[in-house]
Structure 1
Amino acid sequence: MRDLEGRYVNCCSLRYGLSFFIHFCNIAIAAQRVCLSLTMVVMVNTTYSHELHNSSTNELLTNVKNPVYDWSPETQGLILSSIFYGAAIIQLPSGYLSGIYSIKKIVGCGLFLSSLCSLLIPLAAAFGKTSVIVCRVVQGIAQGMASTGQHEIWTKWAPPRERGRLTSICLSGFLLGSFIVLLVTGFICESLGWPIVFYIFSAYGGVLCLLWFVLVYDDPKDHPCISISEKQYITSSLVQQFSSSQQSLPIKSMLKSLPIWAISFATFGYFWSNTILFLYIPMYINSILHVNIKENGLLSALPFLFAWICGILSGQMADFFSSRSILSTTNIRKLFTTLGLLLPVLFSMCLLYLSSSYFSTVIFLILASATGAFSLPGMMINALDIAPRYYGFLKGVTILVGMIGGLISSTLTGIIINQDPESPWFEVFFLMTAVCLACLIFYLIFGEGEIQEWAKERKHTRL
């Protein structure tokens, strides 16, 4: 199938199959990352009695299925956050190495190691909290390898006018994975025991890992199953933007590049708001709506589902504007970055002032959390436009900056809630609004969508 300009755009093509396959891999990564947040509820029970002589047979079986550990709230927080420290450590090395070594091996090894760590968490818990923390740090390193490294694959597989939809399909897998985990983990814990949660998602990741090494190739030129027409379309569309020759990183030029700083600040704002909205959704629902735990779990899952839908649709819209030449690449990135940063703070303000009923609160909460996904075809892939040769490294840099924003926002939100338990959300959302608006303004002023001079291939001549 070809469009009006003769471009090969068959959605059943191999590059779209690769995009959906990475989508399912990201579901596994998100599931393995998030599931501990819910299983922790049954792993730790401060009201549990260690005297089992009066327990019934059912209670004894339940204890076998769901071992209980005496971990303090501080320990629980350290266990849950340790995966992010592991991911932060690996961002720059992973981004740099993905531009040098095989993406197939980097992502495949990361997915395998993450699945292995998920399999070992129940055993690690039996040995103690330190074992779990170490396991989660290693898992964070593995997931950082897979999550950051996968972006580099699109420097050779994604035609410029299809980058929005291809990358949004991939990245939306993280959102769908979180939704699935929040939806099914409670039922698995209740019927089979919390260790089975880790075994199931570990097995799922292991199967995908095997398929990854068999089906995925770094370059469309090397894939044995790709059609000649698709191969020619991809290579011809990228011939002026990417060269296989390796060059050293122009660090000084990157540090002086305002478009890189713009992407970094926008990513900082995105992670700031996204971390607050998704990490503290259950707490907000509990403090405002006062629902039971099952209803809380369902309401906490819904934003991820709608975010997944927004992510898919935004990628389609971005490439529609590009293929019809309705907007330039720069304006497309700025439009969707604006939507991804502005709409969440707008609907967060609506939560404070316009949510007068249960349904209005739920609707504004879903919209505030889901609309951040519009950033996927915005600043989240902007580095691929301005420096495709160094996309892997720049992606590692910008994600690291974003993760710093997420860590700061989650820490400050916890402090605010602890100091002002009566009305903390006003301060939380107003601070979030200020940060996002500042980052957005900087991005709108300095963001660009064209390849920078320092990112072009340098040809050396002798005089």
Structure 2
Amino acid sequence: MFQNGVLSGAPFICSYVASVLFCYIADKLVTKNIMSLTNVRKLFTALAQVVPGILVFLIPYLGCNYIVILVIWFIAVTMITAAYAGAMANVVDIAPNFAGPVLAFAQTIHMTASFLSPLAAGYLTSSGHNLSSWRNVFNVSAAVAISTYVVYQIWGTSEIQPWNIVQPDSSVGEEELMLQKSPDTKVIPKKGKDNELTT
């Protein structure tokens, strides 16, 4: 059980370190003008989705070589954290004024995989828990990871979107302007009880 706990937790410890490293490298690429912000986001999204997708695709073809499988799985889980410097950070780029709602909406879609993936895996392995059935599970996972990156590669951007710009309330400005221009509106100072000026 101890060995199982170490093997389960170690990738996530490395993921924490890797996420900090990925974000640091991404920041340097942008601040030193080595790459544009959009290209940096797409690069790290590719590292987070394409690389793990390929590795996951390879796992069912490695047979029972569990050491190699664990190493590949370890690398795949670690590489996923590159998304923190990629698509996940892209939310702040395109809509800084609405980053919270946009991220919440994106995470809602993202977290649907938490309950859809077990259902899909159960359906794909309904004929039996054999290597062929699990190969289909890993192939579908790889296809989803890579295909969603292709969509991001084509339409992804770091430019601030027009709907992010908050328009001022013009009605308040017009009322204030009318009060200022009205000739009948006068402010007459008067002395109060304590000889203080009041309006």
TM-score normalized by the length of structure 2: 0.78
Q: Does 1:316 align with 2:13?
A: no
User: How far is 1:415 from its partner?
Assistant: 3.4
Q: Does 1:301 align with 2:19?
A: no
Q: Does 1:427 align with 2:126?
A: no
Preserved contact between residue 94 and residue 160 of structure 2 (Cα < 8 Å): yes
The 1:402–1:323 alpha-carbon spacing in structure 2 relative to 1, beyond 3 Å, is same
Q: Which one has a bigger Cα radius of gyration?
A: 2
Q: Which residue identity is paired with 2:160?
A: I
Q: Which residue identity is paired with 1:453?
A: P
Preserved contact between residue 55 and residue 76 of structure 2 (Cα < 8 Å): yes
1:382 & 1:444 partners in 2: Cα distance?
13
> 1:350 aligned to 50, 58, 76, which one?
58
Query: Any stretches of 5+ residues in structure 1 without a counterpart?
Result: 1-292
Alignment of 1:132-143 (within 5 A): none
Quote the residue 2:103 is aligned against.
395
User: How far is 1:403 from its partner?
Assistant: 0.8
Name the SS for the 1:419 alignment partner: coil
Quote the residue 1:335 is aligned against.
43
The 1:297–1:414 alpha-carbon spacing in structure 2 relative to 1, beyond 3 Å, is farther
Residue-pair matches, total: 171
The 1:421–1:300 alpha-carbon spacing in structure 2 relative to 1, beyond 3 Å, is same
1:406 & 1:325 partners in 2: Cα distance?
38
User: How far is 1:354 from its partner?
Assistant: 4.1
Preserved contact between residue 56 and residue 141 of structure 2 (Cα < 8 Å): no
1:319 & 1:307 partners in 2: Cα distance?
18
Preserved contact between residue 50 and residue 145 of structure 2 (Cα < 8 Å): yes
The 1:358–1:404 alpha-carbon spacing in structure 2 relative to 1, beyond 3 Å, is closer
> 1:439 aligned to 148, 157, 160, which one?
148
Quote the residue 1:410 is aligned against.
118
Cα displacement string for residues 171-222 of structure 1 (whole angstroms, at most 9, x for unaligned residues): xxxxxxxxxxxxxxxxxxxxxxxxxxxxxxxxxxxxxxxxxxxxxxxxxxxx
Q: What RMSD over aligned residues (CA atoms) do the two structures have, in Å?
A: 2.0
Preserved contact between residue 355 and residue 364 of structure 1 (Cα < 8 Å): no
Query: Any stretches of 5+ residues in structure 2 without a counterpart?
Result: 175-199
Percent pairwise identity: 28
User: How far is 1:418 from its partner?
Assistant: 4.6
1:356 & 1:408 partners in 2: Cα distance?
27
User: How far is 1:411 from its partner?
Assistant: 2.0
2:104 & 2:39 partners in 1: Cα distance?
24
Alignment of 1:133-282 (within 5 A): none
2:63 & 2:149 partners in 1: Cα distance?
26
1:298 & 1:345 partners in 2: Cα distance?
24
User: How far is 1:359 from its partner?
Assistant: 2.6
Alignment of 1:114-129 (within 5 A): none
> 2:164 aligned to 444, 452, 455, which one?
455
Name the SS for the 1:380 alignment partner: helix
Cα displacement string for residues 95-114 of structure 1 (whole angstroms, at most 9, x for unaligned residues): xxxxxxxxxxxxxxxxxxxx
Cα displacement string for residues 40-82 of structure 1 (whole angstroms, at most 9, x for unaligned residues): xxxxxxxxxxxxxxxxxxxxxxxxxxxxxxxxxxxxxxxxxxx
TM-score normalized by the length of structure 1: 0.35
1:381 & 1:396 partners in 2: Cα distance?
13
Alignment of 1:369-384 (within 5 A): 369-384=77-92
User: How far is 1:299 from its partner?
Assistant: 1.1
